[in-house]
Chains A and B, each alone.
Chain A
Amino acid sequence: MSSSLPYQRTSWVQVTVSLSFAMLLSWLPWHGVGLALRPDFVALVLLYWSIYSPHRVSVGIAWGVGLLADVADASLLGQHAWAYAMMAFGGNVLHRRVQMLNLFQQTMQIFPLLLSSYLLFALVHWLVNESFSWLYFIGCALTALLWMPLTVLLQNIGRPPANQDPL
């Protein structure tokens, strides 16, 4: 599978469009338990690009997207930004290793990255507000489970029509 990875062909269009879709999904009017369990689509797509296109989506881009997420979620400015930047840093550093693995092993590799981003977010929240919800981390696990379908989706969308070999 790794022989047909499309990361060299990725363009800004793909990155922007996929990130916009992730934002649309994340900013749907979730509430109640659905909100607590909501997978962080933006984080997942950022992580994907930071692994498969590390020279395009680096720490800075993730930070900027996180800043927008901070405004959208009315969290402290820099809270999402820092968490996403850390995650993108992990993705950039580990990108060669993760790309060599199969999808299940990839999930195992990205779960700690996602968890670190969630932990950082929760830590900042806890330091400022002194309150905390364990339900929040179930969302992290759900996000990690979505890695497999997302990777298949983005790899197939990113592939030009002339290069349609089966996965």
Chain B
Amino acid sequence: MDNSQPVRFFKRGYSPSVQIAFFSLLSLALLFMDARYQYLGALRYVLSAFVQPVQRLVTMPSSVWQEASDFLYTQSSLTRESARLQQQHALDGSQLQQVRALVAENQQLRKLMDVQAHSSYPALFAEIVYAERDVFKRKVLVNKGTQANVQAGQVVVDAAGVVGQVTRVYPWLSEITLITDKDQSVPAQVLRNGLRTIVFGSGDISHLALRYMPVSADIQENDVLVTSGIDGIYPPGLPVARVSKIVRDPAYPFARIECEPLAGVDKQRFLMILSGAPVLPERPEAEVAGGDGHLGKRNKASMKP
């Protein structure tokens, strides 16, 4: 049996070493092009047409289970849920009244000050199909793609705050990089005093970090960070994170600041993709001292990897 093998083997194609040399070079070329230039979007798009039906098939049992459990919701839990929602609704309603008044007042004031009004961002509802199967990354895929006019760069939020950003779009899916991803950063500002900063992901599920903040920066624990909107991508004012721990060690030039994301970054099933990119970068808010703020921004931009 083994005797016949070498003869047949050499009759078929090239030897393994030739093949591995060829395919290694091809892999290296692909890796280089994909990592450096992002030329291969079209190839990925075509190949995804083969992969996605299989992925849909695989996730079907869990979605069927989900639907079945939705169907078999018991009456007691329904009434409890309904009572809770009604309470919430009443609470929200009263708050909404105040907010409406505030919005009207705000618009009036903005008109007086001749500042461009905040535009509203229509939201597209999307469901998470599955989480990324790469342990090194924090990414999820949702069930809306180019068919629903999703574009790369759009911001994804849930009810509590920013979840991430659309990074890749397929015909029926899109890939969302969560703010906890190591390569993801969100321009933010401290809600309390308007201090501008950048929130970096840490690659960990529930941690974010503020880098390059001087030891003397005016930032406290439990400060809430919201998007600043000066980048022209993130709409301003979306909650991002809450500062959980600050270590000010004079031996280092920067304070070590840890935050927790406010949105349920790893918990939600439904997310909202904010469509309609901001038309123009927002003007800096009046509460930030002009010169100081500009300097800070330039420093951060040059430091950003």
Contact = CB atoms under 8 A, between A and B. Distances in A.
Interface of A: 5, 8, 20, 23-24, 26-32, 35-36, 38, 54-55, 58-60, 63, 67-68, 71-79, 81-82, 85-86, 89, 92-93, 96, 124-125, 128-129, 131-133, 135-136
B132 A74 contact: yes
A135 B17 CA distance: 32
B166 to A, nearest CB: 13
B28 A38 contact: no
Contacts of A132: 136
A104 B77 CA distance: 53
Given A73-B134, A86-B24, 5 more contacts: A27-B55, A27-B58, A27-B133, A28-B58, A85-B27
B130 interface: yes
Contacts of B175: 74
B183 interface: yes
Contacts of A79: 27, 31
A27 B242 CA distance: 34
B35 interface: yes
Nearest to B59: A29
B54 A71 contact: no
Contacts of B134: 73-75
B27 A71 contact: no
Contacts of A54: 9, 16
Interface in B41-76: 43-44, 47-48, 50-51, 54-55, 57-59, 62
Interface in B5-48: 5, 8-9, 12-13, 16-17, 19-20, 23-24, 26-31, 33-35, 40, 43-44, 47-48
B1 interface: yes
B50 A36 contact: no
Given A27-B54, A29-B59, A67-B47, A78 B130 contact: no
Interface of B: 1-2, 5, 8-9, 12-13, 16-17, 19-20, 23-24, 26-31, 33-35, 40, 43-44, 47-48, 50-51, 54-55, 57-59, 62, 130-137, 139, 141, 168, 175, 182-183, 203, 205
Contacts of A129: 136, 182-183
Given A55-B9, A77-B43, A136 B23 contact: no
B31 A78 contact: yes
Nearest to A95: B5
A82 B13 CA distance: 20
B130 A29 contact: yes
A96 B9 CA distance: 12
Contacts of B33: 77
A54 B20 CA distance: 14
Contacts of A55: 8-9, 12
Contacts of B132: 73-74
A142 B5 CA distance: 31
Contacts of B23: 59-60, 63, 81-82, 85
